[in-house]
């Protein structure tokens, strides 16, 4: 069990400010008149003491309070050009930011949860004892802001006033981080006191990049204090490590849902998007995928885009499932974003009108950004994440350095994106979610789409995500378990999180149950009797898979029942593919949907073994696995290791 406000408050201990009076005195000595006035509008005493402690600890030359006014937002843009953290590009409103070559992704090896003695964390997470974290922060953060301006921003994770929105403070010396926050989150300065009262809490994030030299990177740390809802980040710049409104606060939101709103609320690593179905009806989806596995592309495939990374879900009074996007923008991977696959996004990136912060792409001599997989002609030289670059350049190991880093990103506001639904996205009541999807980077096992037969099986789809490593985490390789694609952000034991999932989706209050589905875009030719690692599908096929789920939730298509759930019939998919202007040969369908029983069994056994090592995993998980294994074994006994769809239809496993 997690206990809030347990153990020493590291920030207060180091900052030494204990009362609103002391906070005010410090503000008077550190802030100019204008910023003092801005702070004067905030009345939450706890917040004021936190901010004062951050100032006392980091000792900046100046303080800037970002109220979200046009003037302040503009000021942050200008400061970021002045500090050199960003440089202007040819297109108006576009800038480039580079992270150090060694810090192009989340530094998972230096990211820790701060825990009290005998507090459990997920077996997949790293933890540090409160006392040790205190010593580390005390050794590295005091005075870290000297020579810099410390910026303070008040934000909302979700539409202001929504019951699932959480207010949060971002305190940073990095102009790039504050600029990113201004794009990715809704400013809540004007509503901060009311919002903290409604939510009963606020989250705090403190960051400084320090001198930002490669030699400081070994000392970089990301600490998340679960008890005090405060993050500390130092000596790094990559947004995933520094803009802790995002993944740092997502981790706290997971804790809050798991331990304080179990069965009522979830915090997920999910996109939210809507699809227009027959007769113009709108059906909303929420879906999980590990970082770098097509979550943004899935979200963009919808007609009514809401969010691409973080969803807060809850059960409304009327028994429907509701979801809001914690964010107001995307921090999207640009690799493979092309006109053909992502027209809406390309429009923002290549046409004037959107404000965009690019990171870690190639900039040519005309100050135009370029990235791998965009289907355009590429320059032979330029500046990229590792400095000067020309085609054929290799690293110390003789490996070719790509034009852009595979985790290079673009940061932009949702309302710049053509298919963004402001009406639903900004509604505090959220989107009504009817379909929940789970996916990973799975080259050889699961079909492109399948639907769970009930909520228990649906939860197990989420629990069983397995994925190949991507470029979003430094130094991570191989195939890994990725429960709910949320694993990197689940602080507590997985058993607790899983129990919360079962309780939520089986809740008697959830009258309009969503359908829960698996998606897999990554089956290869090599795994289905062909050659190589080329994919069997294409990005645009997403529309067909989502389209089928849309029909399915409205009861408009039949499906084939299998031991793991329902799969589509060829004829229905063929029609959907025709709708996106694509041939869909039966031979491809057969490759995608025949069952390779041994792979599926191996997957289940791997998960069972791993979950048995957790303390008190919910028994339902193992019951579902047993049921699925029985069916799969019956299929194998009758047909051998590869079972065709025609054989699945015979239903002999039942
Ligand atoms: O690196 S972040 O966690 O900010 C983005 C992602 O990988 O999803
Ligand atoms: Mn993510």
What is the tally of helices (H) and strands (E) in the chain?
21, 33
Looking at ligand 1, which atom is closest to the CA of residue 246? 4
Question: Which of 253, 281, 315 is the endpoint of a domain?
Answer: 253
Looking at the structure, tell me whether residues 240 and 313 fall in a common domain.
no
CATH of residue 295's domain is: 3.90.228.20
Based on the fold, state whether residues 171 and 198 are members of the same structural domain.
yes
Nearest to 427 by CA among 514, 273, 330, 323: 323
Domain boundary among 368, 393, 415: 415
Whether residues 272 and 317 share a domain: the answer is yes
Query: Which mutation among 103, 245, 247, 307 tests ligand 1's pocket best, with the greatest number of atoms within 8 A of CB?
Result: 247
DSSP 401: P
The first and second tokens of residue 616, run together, are 């008190």
Q: What is the CATH classification number for the domain harbouring 402?
A: 2.170.8.10
Q: Which domain holds residue 353?
A: 331-415
- Positions annotated as catalytic residues are 293
Per the structure block, which two tokens stand in for 214?
Answer: 């490669």
- Whether 16 and 53 have beta carbons less than 8 Å apart is answered as yes
Specify the residue with its C-alpha closest to ligand 1, atom 8.
Answer: 291
Ligand sitting nearest the alpha carbon of 407: 1
The answer to whether residue 234 is domain-embedded is yes
314/448 same-domain check:
yes
Task: Look at residue 171 and tell me if it is in a domain.
Answer: yes
For residue 35, give the CATH number of its domain. Answer: 3.40.449.10
Q: Is residue 260 part of a domain?
A: no
Residue 124 has a pLDDT of 77
Residue written as tokens 């069994």? 601
pLDDT at 469: 83
Place of tokens 């520094």: 242
Ligand 2 centre and the CA of 259: distance in Å? Answer: 22
Question: What residue owns the CA closest to ligand 1's atom 2?
Answer: 240
* 201 & 272 share domain: no
Our mutation pick for probing the ligand 1 site, out of 106, 409, 486, 488, counting the most ligand atoms within 8 A of Cβ, is 106
Of the listed ligands, the closest to the CA of 332 is: 1
Q: Residue 222 C-alpha to ligand 1 middle, in angstroms? A: 14
Claim to verify: residue 496 and residue 628 sit in the same structural domain:
yes
Residue 215 resides in a domain: yes
DSSP state of 106: B
Q: Where are the beta strands (DSSP E) in 496-584?
A: 515-519, 560-562, 565-567
Residue with CA closest to ligand 1 atom 5 = 240
Per the structure, the count of domains in the chain is: 3
**Residue 240 near ligand 1, beta carbon < 6 Å:** yes
The answer on 65 and 179 residing in a single domain is: yes
Residue 524's pLDDT is 96
With DSSP H G I counted as helix, E B as strand and the rest as coil, what are the percentages for the chain, rounded to 5? 35, 25, 40
Task: From 351, 381, 415, give the residue that closes a domain.
Answer: 415
Domain membership flag for residue 100: no
Ligand 1 in contact with 269 (CB < 6 A)? no
Say whether both 200 and 343 belong to one domain. Answer: no
- d(CA 177, ligand 1 centre) in Å: 14
* Statement to judge: residues 180 and 219 lie in one domain: yes
What local confidence, expressed as pLDDT, does residue 646 receive? 98
The owner of tokens 């059960």 is 315
Nearest CA to ligand 1 atom 3: 240
Residue 381 and residue 277 share a domain = no
Query: Does ligand 1 come within 6 angstroms of the Cβ of 208?
Result: no
Is 96 within a domain?
no
Do residue 318 and residue 353 come from a single domain?
no
The reply to whether ligand 1 has any atom less than 6 angstroms from the CB of 106 is yes
The protein residue whose alpha carbon is closest to atom 1 in ligand 1 is: 240
Kindly list the averaged pLDDT for each block of 10 residues, start to end, along the chain of length 654. Answer: 91 98 98 98 98 98 98 98 98 98 97 92 89 98 98 98 98 99 98 98 98 98 97 98 98 97 98 98 98 91 97 98 98 94 95 98 98 97 98 95 98 98 98 98 96 98 92 82 94 96 98 98 95 93 98 98 98 98 98 98 96 94 98 98 98 89
* Centroid of chain to Cα 652: 41
> From the alpha carbon of 292, which atom of ligand 1 is closest?
7
| Residue 210 and residue 289 share a domain | no
| 97 domain-assigned | no
* Ligand 1 pocket, residue 242 CB under 6 Å: no
Question: Is the whole model's pTM more than 0.95, yes or no?
Answer: yes
Cβ of 291 below 6 Å from ligand 1: yes
Are 455 and 505 within 8 A, CB to CB? yes
DSSP string of 17-85, one letter each residue: --SHHHHHHHHHHHS-HHHHHHHHT---HHHHHHHHHHHHHH--SEEEEE---HHHHHHHHHHHHHHTS
CA dist 29 and 39 (Å) reads: 13
Q: Does ligand 1 have an atom closer than 6 angstroms to the CB of 246?
A: yes
Instruction: For residue 496, tell me if it sits in a domain.
Output: yes
Closest Cα partner for 373 from 338, 342, 344, 401? 338
């Amino acid at each position: 069990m997690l206990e809030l406000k347990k153990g020493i408050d590291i920030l207060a201990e180091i900052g030494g400010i204990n009362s609103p009076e002391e906070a005010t005195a410090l503000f008077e000595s550190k802030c100019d008149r204008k910023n003092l006035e801005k702070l004067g509008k905030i009345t939450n005493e706890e917040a004021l003491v936190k901010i004062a402690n951050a100032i006392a600890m980091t000792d900046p030359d100046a303080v800037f309070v970002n109220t979200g006014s046009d003037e302040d937002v503009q000021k942050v843009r200008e400061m970021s050009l002045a500090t050199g953290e960003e440089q202007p590009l040819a297109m108006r409103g576009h800038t480039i930011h580079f992270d150090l070559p060694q810090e192009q992704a989340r530094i998972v090896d230096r990211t820790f949860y701060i825990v009290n003695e005998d507090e459990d964390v997920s077996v997949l997470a790293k933890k540090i004892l409160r006392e040790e974290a205190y010593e580390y922060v005390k050794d590295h953060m005091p005075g870290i802001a000297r020579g810099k301006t410390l910026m303070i921003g008040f934000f909302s994770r979700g539409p202001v006033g929504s019951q699932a929105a959480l207010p949060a403070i971002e305190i940073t010396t990095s102009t790039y981080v504050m600029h990113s926050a201004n794009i990715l989150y809704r400013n809540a300065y004007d509503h901060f006191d009311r919002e903290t009262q409604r939510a009963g809490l606020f989250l705090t994030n403190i960051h400084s990049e320090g001198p930002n030299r490669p030699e400081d990177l070994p000392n970089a740390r990301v600490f998340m204090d679960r008890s005090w809802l405060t993050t500390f980040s130092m000596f790094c710049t990559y947004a995933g490590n520094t803009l802790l409104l995002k993944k740092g606060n997502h981790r706290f939101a997971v804790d809050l849902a798991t331990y304080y709103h179990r069965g009522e609320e979830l915090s997920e690593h999910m996109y939210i998007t809507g699809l227009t179905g027959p007769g113009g009806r709108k059906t909303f989806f929420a879906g999980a995928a590990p970082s770098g596995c097509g979550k943004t592309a899935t979200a963009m495939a919808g007609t009514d885009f809401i969010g691409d990374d973080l969803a807060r879900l809850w059960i409304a009074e009327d028994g429907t499932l509701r979801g809001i996007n914690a964010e107001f923008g995307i921090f999207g991977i640009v690799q493979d974003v092309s006109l053909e696959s992502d027209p809406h996004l390309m429009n923002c990136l290549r046409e004037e009108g959107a404000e965009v912060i690019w990171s870690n792409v190639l900039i040519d001599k005309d100050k135009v950004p370029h990235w791998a997989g965009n289907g355009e002609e590429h320059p032979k030289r330029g500046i990229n994440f590792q400095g000067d670059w020309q085609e054929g350049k290799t690293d110390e190991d003789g490996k070719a350095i790509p034009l852009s880093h595979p985790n290079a990103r673009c940061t932009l506001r949702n309302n710049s994106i053509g298919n963004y639904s402001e009406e639903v996205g900004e509604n505090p009541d959220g989107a009504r979610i009817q379909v929940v999807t789970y996916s990973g980077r799975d080259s050889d096992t699961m079909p492109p789409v399948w639907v769970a037969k009930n909520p228990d099986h649906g939860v197990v789809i989420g629990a069983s995500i397995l994925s190949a490593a991507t470029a979003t985490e430094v130094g991570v390789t191989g195939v890994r378990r990725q429960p709910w694609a949320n694993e990197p952000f689940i602080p507590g034991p997985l058993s607790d999180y899983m129990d919360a999932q079962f309780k939520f989706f089986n809740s008697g209050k959830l009258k309009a149950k969503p359908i829960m589905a698996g998606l897999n875009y990554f089956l290869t030719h090599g795994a289905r009797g062909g050659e190589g690692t080329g994919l069997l599908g294409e990005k645009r096929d997403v529309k067909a898979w989502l389209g089928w789920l849309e029909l399915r939730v409205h009861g408009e298509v039949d499906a084939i029942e299998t031991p793991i759930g329902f799969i589509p019939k060829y004829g229905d998919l063929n029609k959907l593919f025709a709708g996106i202007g694509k041939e869909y040969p039966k031979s491809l369908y057969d490759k995608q949907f025949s069952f390779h029983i041994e792979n599926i069994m191996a997957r289940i056994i791997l998960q069972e073994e791993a979950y048995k090592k957790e303390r008190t995993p919910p028994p339902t998980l193992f019951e579902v696995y047993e049921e699925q294994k029985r069916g799969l074994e019956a299929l194998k006994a009758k047909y051998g290791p590869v079972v065709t769809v025609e054989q699945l239809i015979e239903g002999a496993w039942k």
